[in-house]
Structure 1
Amino acid sequence: MMMKRLASNAEDVAHHYNTRRELGTVGRLHTPITGLRLFNNWIKSLLIRKYASQGCRVLDLGCGKGGDLRKWNLSRIAEYVGMDIASVSVSQAQARYRELYNPTFTARFFAQDCYGASLLFCEPLEKTLQPPDYMADVISAQFCLHYAFETEDKARQMMRNISGHLVDDGRFICTIPNANCKKRRAAGREFGNALYQVKFFGDEITRFGTAYSFTLDEAVEDCTEYLVHMPTFVQLAAEHGLELEDCCGLHHMYAEHRRYHDSVELLRSMRVVDNDRPAISPDEWEAIGIYLAVVFRKVKR
C-alpha cells in the first residue's frame, strides 16, 4: 500500500525544529539516545579538530541550537557565522554563545533557509549574511544537508552558497545519511529499531526528491528527509569547484580512530566510552551506521 507522503518544505522543517522540546545539557545526558548524541559529538569534534585551525573563519550552515560552539572554541577559531532555518534555534545558539566561557572568536547568527530555491525564487546566503561577501576557511553542515536534495534547484543553490563563500583550498565538512545503506535496508520500504524508524514513500530511487519519513527518539519526529545521492553530490560539487577529499562511514571512522591515542582520549573525555567499553546500546550503534562523514576541498581555479 502506498504511504501518504508528508508535506516537506522550508516552513515545515522550521516549524518542526522551532517546536522541539529543549532538553538542556543535563536532560540530553539522560535519554535513550544519549550514547548516540555523545558519539556524534565525538565525530564532529574529530572533523573540527582536523580542519579548523587557529584563527580561521567558519560558516556553519544549519547551526541549530549552537551545540558545536564549544568545539569550535577549542580549535581557537577567529570568526564564526551560524545560520539556520529555525529562528528559535538561532536565538538559542546566540544565548549559548553569550554563555561561552572565554570565547576565542566573534560570532554572528542569522535565520535563513540555507538551501531554499525554486524555479522562480532562490535564496542566496547574501539575503541575510552580513557582510554579504563573507568568505570562510571552513564551511560546516552537520546532519542537515539532506534537506537540500528535495529538488535539483535546492541542491544547486546549496552548492552555489558553499562555493561562493569558501576560500580557495578551504574545506566543506558535512555529515549526511548513507544513501547506499538506506537503499539496501529498505527492501520492504521501512526499517529501524526501538530508537529510530525510516519509512520510504515509494520504490523509485532518484537523484533528487527520494523522500522518506525519519524518526529518532527525542530528536526527530516523523520528519520528511531526502536521500543524498552521492554520485550526484560529487558531480555537483565538481561543477562548483569542490573536489571530494574524504568519505567515510561513521562505524569505519570509529574503527580507524581507535588506533590513535588522541582520538581514544577524546572518546574517554567526551564519555563516549566507559572503562574502554562503548556506552552505546546496540540500537544506537545501528542508527549511527546510517551516516557518513564527507569532506570536500575548494579547488583554486
Structure 2
Amino acid sequence: MDRPSYVRDRPNAEADNADLYHKPSSNSATVAKHYNEIRELGVEGRLYTKITGLRLFNNWVKSCLIRQYTKRGNKVLDLGCGKGGDLRKWSMSNISEYVGMDIADVSVGQAQRRYKEMNNNRFEARFYAQDCYGEPLEKTLRPVDYKADVVSTQFCLHYAFESEAKARQMMANVSTHMEPGAYFMCTIPNANWLEKKRRVLGDSFGNSVYRVEFAPGKATRFGTAYSFSLDEAVQDCTEYLVHMPSFVQLAGEYGLELKDCIGFHHYYTQQMQRDDATGLFWRMRVIDEERPEISKDEWEAIGIYLVVVFRKMQ
C-alpha cells in the first residue's frame, strides 16, 4: 500500500497540538514511572523528530475516530488520558463533559493544566489518577455511577491483556460506565501483524524507528509479553498481545458488540474517501512541503496498529 506523499495546493494549517503515546497500566508502578518520566517535547519539538510523520498520522486517526463516533453534547470517559493531548480533539466535537483517567499521576497533572490553559472551554472536565485496568474505576471516579456516551482508550488497552483477570476488570470498567448504545473505541497493536513478523523474522525485529523483542515461547490468549521501543516515545516497555478473538468474546460477555476492526493502513484508504477526513489530513499537516512524505520506516510502524470499535447493546 502506497505511503502518503505531498501534493501541492493543499490547504495548510497549524498541526494539532497532541501527544501520541499516553499509556496506562501493566506492571502498574513500573509503567506509571516510565510514562511520567518521558520528557515533554513541546509543540515544536514534536514536529522535528524521526517519527514526526507517524505522530501526526496517528493523531489524524484519533481525530477521525472522535469525529466519527462522537456527537454534540456527548459525555466522554478517556481511560489512559495521559497528558491530555486529545482534549482539543474532543472540544472540536462539542462534547458536554469529559472524564480523564490515567495511572501516571504526573501526566494527569499535566492534563489538568492543559485543560485550564485551553481558551473558551466548551465542556466540563475532571481528572483522576489510578490504574484504569487493574482496579475498579469506582475507587476514584465521581460520581461512582458516571456513564459516558463514548469511552476511549488510545494506544494503551494492550496493557490490560497482561492477564485474563486484568482484561476482565478492564471490560467491567468500560461496560459499567457506558450508556446503552454508547461506543467504545480504541487503537491497539495488531497481534496478527506482530505474530506474522515474528514467524518470518524471529523473536526480534524492527527498523530505524521501532523495535519489538519477544521472549521465546508460544503466544497465548493472555499474557504474551514483548518489549517495545519507538523513537522519542517508548523505550523498552513491556506490552502484551491483544488476542482479537478473545477480546471480541470478552466484550460480548459484557454486553458489547464489535462494530469495526481495521488496520491503520486500510483505515487511511477508507477515510481518504471522505471529504472531511481528507481536509483534516492536510490541515493537520501530516505531510507538507517540509516533510513531503511519510518515511518507509514510519509507514511500516504505522502498520502495527488497529482501529477497534464496539457498541454497547441496548
Q: Report the equivalent of 2:194.
A: 182
Does 1:46 pair with 2:64? yes
Question: Matched residues in 2 for 1:11 and 1:46: separation?
Answer: 32
Among residues 19, 22, 29, which one is paired with 1:11 in the alignment?
Answer: 29
Match of 2:13 in 1: none
User: What is the one-letter code of the residue matched to 2:204?
Assistant: E
**2:117 equivalent to 1:105:** no
Q: 1:260 aligns with which of 238, 258, 274?
A: 274
Structure 2 partner of 1:3: none
The answer to whether structure 1 residue 235 and structure 2 residue 235 are counterparts is no
Q: Deviations over 1:204-232 (max 9, x none)?
A: 11000000000000000000000000000
> How big is each residue's C-alpha offset from its partner over 1:229-271, in whole Å with a ceiling of 9 and x where there is no partner?
0000000000000000000100001111222221111010000
Select the structure with the greater relative contact order (CA < 8 A; seq sep ≥ 6). Answer: 2
Letter in 1 for 2:249: Q
> Closer, same or farther in 2 for the Cα pair 1:278/1:135, shift >3 Å?
farther
Q: Which residue of 2 aligns with 1:201?
A: 215
- The aligned counterpart of 2:14 is none
Aligned AA for 1:24? G
1:225 is aligned to 239
Counterpart code for 1:231: P
Structure 1 pair 55–41 and aligned structure 2 pair: CA distance change class (3 A): same
- 2:283 maps to which of 252, 259, 269: 269
Q: Report the aligned-residue RMSD.
A: 1.2
Amino acid at match of 2:46: R
Match of 2:164 among 152, 161, 166: 152
TM-score, normalised on structure 1?
0.93
TM-score (norm 2): 0.90
Deviant stretches of 4+, over 2 Å:
none
Distance 1:98 1:20 in 2: 22
Q: How far does residue 295 in structure 1 lie from its aligned partner after superposition?
A: 0.3
Q: Secondary structure at the match of 1:76?
A: coil
Cα displacement (A) at 1:279:
3.3
Q: Distance in 2 between matches of 1:213 and 1:220?
A: 10
Q: Distance in 2 between matches of 1:9 and 1:260?
A: 40
Which ranges in structure 2 are unaligned for 5 or more consecutive residues? 1-25
- Per the alignment, in what secondary structure is the counterpart of residue 133 of structure 2? coil
Q: Distance in 2 between matches of 1:278 and 1:23?
A: 22
How many equivalent residue pairs?
Answer: 287
Which amino acid in the other structure matches residue 192 of structure 2? N
User: 1 CA distance for matches of 2:170 and 2:90?
Assistant: 23
Offset at 1:278? 5.8
Distance 2:272 2:100 in 1: 31
5+ residue gaps, structure 1, are 1-7, 117-122
- SS of 1:186's partner is helix
2:31 & 2:92 partners in 1: Cα distance?
30
Partner amino acid for 1:76? N
Give the match for residue 210 of structure 1.
224
Using the TM superposition, give the Cα deviation of residue 273 of structure 1 relative to its aligned residue in structure 2, in angstroms. Answer: 2.6
C-alpha distance in 1 between matches for 2:152 and 2:277 = 20
Identity of aligned residues (%): 66
